Amino acid sequence: MSRPAAPPAPTTRSPMTRPAATQPPARPPCDTLGLSRHQLAQVRAACAYIDACAGQGVTLAALAAHVGSSPWRIQRLFKKAMGITPREYADARRSSRFRHALRHGDSVAGATYDAGYGSSSRVYERAHAKLGMTPASYARGGRGARIAYAIVDSPLGRLLVAATERGVCFVSLGEHDAELEAALKAEFPKADAIVRDEAAIAPALEAVLDYLRGATPHVELPLDVRATAFQRRVWQELMAIPPGETRSYAEIAAALGLPKAQRAVGRACATNPVAILVPCHRALRADGTLGGYRWGLTRKAALLEREAERQR
């Protein structure tokens, strides 16, 4: 069995279309999805079969035969339970094995073939989507950006989601619309336009709300954010923390190969402009206390509790 997969980085899909998640959860959620015990057992069996065949490739027909279903039915059932297709699940597992091997000192060639990629070119074909975040489409201060946003009620208070044509650029939580709008404008003081447009932002907004309501196990959206090289590395490491788990600032710094940079890691978390999508709430102090959170410690605690409950 392979180790649980880390969440891959967001894809470059348009934020105006409903996303499909690609980070395989530790196990399929149940009550909120309306699946029977038999259906959940089939999904779990499908996950186990894909993991057992790591590196060999699994056809949809073979997977369906293994769990006693039809290819069309298992594809639909798997997507409903996991939020991703069997192929996307297998890809995420393979990407996780590749990154784990690299982090533990394997050569690129060794990690490539051990993870199940047929050649190094297959790794690079997927590297953009799996291992990196795209550069921002706008200059410092938002110069050149045209931003649409919407604000709605959520389980954690008022929720603002903003996006350019390329991806989500800002997510915030608060009590009052005026405060959220002021924070957005302070983040992008030189933007060409910032317009409240619920229709334009609806798919991205719905995806975040589904996650906060517990309807989906995780959320994936394309991002359009500015970041220094160090911030980018920290945010990537945060996205590699599975839902329901946490890391200390020191552990994140050590994972980056910079064990003395825990304060800098904390600053990178504090300046994260896309709350929830880059899960800085999963970063804690070394003693296990919450530390800080831009949108309030009560919300940080609530996010962690909700994620822990989904993994039980």
Catalytic residues: 280
Backbone φ, ψ for residue 148 (5° rounding): -105, 145
Give Cα separations from 69 to 65, 76, 211 (angstroms): 6, 11, 29
The answer to whether residues 115 and 127 touch, using CB atoms and an 8 Å cutoff, is no
Nearest 5°: the CA angle 219, 231, 288 is 70
CA dist., res. 243 & res. 254, Å (int) = 20
Tokens, residue 112: 């490539």
Written as six digits, the tokens of 241 are 């923390």
Taking CA atoms, 10 is separated from 21, 109, 197, in Å, by 9, 25, 23
* Cα 210 versus chain centre, distance: 14
Q: Which two tokens stand for residue 233?
A: 């590395």
201's tokens: 């932002």
